[in-house]
Every structure is written in structure tokens, then in C-alpha cells.
Amino acid sequence: MRHHALLAVCLACLLAACGKPGASGPAAAASAPAATLLVAPEDVLTVASSAIAGGPVITGSVQPERRADLAAEVAAVVVQVLRDNGEPVRRGDLLMRLDDTALRESLASAEESVRASNQAFEQAERQVQRLRTLQQQGMISTQALEDAEIRRNNTQSELVAARARAVSARQQVTRTLVRAPFDGVVSERRVSVGDTVQIGRELVKVIDPASMRFEGLVSADRVAELKPGQAARFHVNGFGNAEFSGRVRRVDAAANATTRQVELIVDFADAAKAPRVAGLFAEGRIETGSSDALTLPESPIVRSGDTASVWRLDGKLLQKVAVTLGERDPRSGQYAVLKGLAAGDRVLRNPGRTLQPGQGFEFAASAASASAAK
């Protein structure tokens, strides 16, 4: 019995030793305070108020003002393609040739009809002149002269009709040659050699890259704020963070019945710097006014799903503060802070992932001074 009591005392001593402050293990590691963070002055951002551009958001694409969809004007077979996608062209350059064999035969027949009708008219005219002379001499009746004049007039009408048919046939032959309507670039070739095309079939599209503009859409709810001449700033997909500026040229007078959006045209402020590729997505804002608000750049904002927060410096401790953000200013890239911060608050400019709420911090300069004092 005495042996059992001694064993119980030993076990109690061991358990007490495990619970002492100097013990090590997972529980002790979890309760250990985070190390003090050294912060350089350039790592701190002071929240301040600044002007935020206001105005409706515009979305759309970059499109050329000068563009032509060249379609077949005659039914024929494509016999030659001289330009492909992306190739530059000059006005009048031959882009495509259609088979003109049957049309040339029609043209030859029309020209022969013109020649025959012209001969018939000339002969009828000479006959009228002879009969007029004879009638003046009293050798024929007035009726005979009038009949000759009628025949002359009929042949003249036939000549005019034959000439019109020849002109039409000549135009048909010309339409087998597809030419560039202006200086530009072939943006889309829709047929190949051997294809049979009917009248109206699209053959090739030509655009002028020097005439790019922003064709955008704005919600009809904001149309009252829009007017020609307003400034616009926007980004174009494929050009990174480059910002383009322009001015509203015109606003359509009717909204789309399905989307309830209004189309408007924005000219680039510097046409030489405009993208040379059509169809690129663009998004920005029409500058109809500005207002003052607390702002933050993207770097101090920590996002988690739909929530956003920042690390604020409170006294000597770090605190994670939830913030409510407004729209992004397209000019500066700053976000409006609607809730969570006040003017003068200091936040970490580029917070790390290992920070903990309540973690202490010291400025690097003061820490260095303390070390020197020691």
C-alpha cells in the first residue's frame, strides 16, 4: 500500500512539471507573441483626400471610321486573289479578280449591236435628207418624207438603247475587278480561288488603321450627363496599363431597345498613338465632373473574396481594418474609400501575408537609434 502511494506522488510531480511556463510544445508555440515588425518610413502610406473623377462608365471597342465590306456585284467564279489579310493596299489596287468570260461575250454582242444600230441610223438619216430635197422640188409627197423621218427616229432610239446596253455590259466586266476604295489594310478575306459567288456575297473587308476611334456604350440612365466635347479616359485590352484619352464626338439619339444602352463615338486625343488593330475591347469613363474623397492605391488593399481590408498603424500595434471601397478613378488608379478609414490614418503600403492583428511595430530609424544608444 505504501508503494502505491509513493508512485502516485511521483506521477503528480511529473504532471506539475509539464505545466510549468518553461515547457515546450505546440501549445507553447501557439501562444508565443509575434515578432516586432520593423517598418521603414517609405512603407507607410497616409490616407488623404483627393479629387475623384466622376461620370458614366463606357465600354466598347476600338473600330476604324473608314471601313468597307466589298461584295460581289456579279455572279461569277473567283479566279485570282492578289491580297491577303494584313497586307497594306493603296486606293485602286486590284484585290481580287472574278471570271469575266461570259460578261465579255455579252459586251462584244452589245458593241456589235451598237455598230449595227449606228449604221441603220446613218442610212435612215441620209434617206431623210434625200427625200427632203425631193419634197422641196415637189417630186414626192409630204407623207413620204414623214414616213422616212419616223423610220429615222426609230433607228435613233434603237441606237440609244444599244449604247446603253453596251455601257451596262462594260460596267459588268469592270465589276469583276475588285479594287481597294482607299488606302488601308485588308482585314478579312472571305473567299478563295475557285469559289462561286453570287451578287451580294461578301468578298473582302478593307479598313483604314489611321482612322481608329472608340465606339462605346453607356447606360441610358446616365445619358442626361453626356454631351459632345466631354473628355474621356479609357484603357484598351492588349496595351497593359497604358491610358488613352479622347473627346466625345457624338451621342446617338436613340437607346438600344434590348440593352437600354446608348452608343457614342470618342475620338482619340492623339490619333498617332491610337491602336492600329480593330476590335480591341476598351473600357473607361466619361469625365462629367469630380468630387473629393479619401483614396487609396491598389497596393495596400488586401482582398479576400468580396471583402477588402488594410493594415492600419495604431499607436505601436498593427490592426487589420475592413474597408468599403468605391469606384476606381481611371485617371489616377486610386480607389475611393467609403468606410473604414479617416483622413490622416497610416496604413502599410505593401503588407505581407504573415502579419497578425495586434502585432507590434517599430520604425526602422528609431530602432537603429536605440541600438546606437546601447
Whole-prediction pTM value?
A: 0.61
* Residue labelled with grid coordinates 466619361: 286
Decide if 341 contacts 311 (C-beta within 8 A): no
Decide if 207 contacts 184 (C-beta within 8 A): yes
pLDDT tens-digit readout, 275-304: 999 999 999 889 886 677 888 999 999 999
Question: Quick check: helix, strand or coil at residue 304?
Answer: strand
- Residue 213 phi, psi dihedral angles, 5° rounding: -150, 165
Q: Which pLDDT score is estimated for 331? A: 66
pLDDT tens-digit readout, 74-83: 999 999 999 9
Q: Residue 3 above 60 pLDDT?
A: no
Triad 207, 245, 252: Cα angle to 5° = 65
How many other C-beta atoms lie within 10 A of the C-beta of residue 45? 18
Q: Which pLDDT score is estimated for 26? A: 43
How many other C-beta atoms lie within 10 A of the C-beta of residue 11? 10
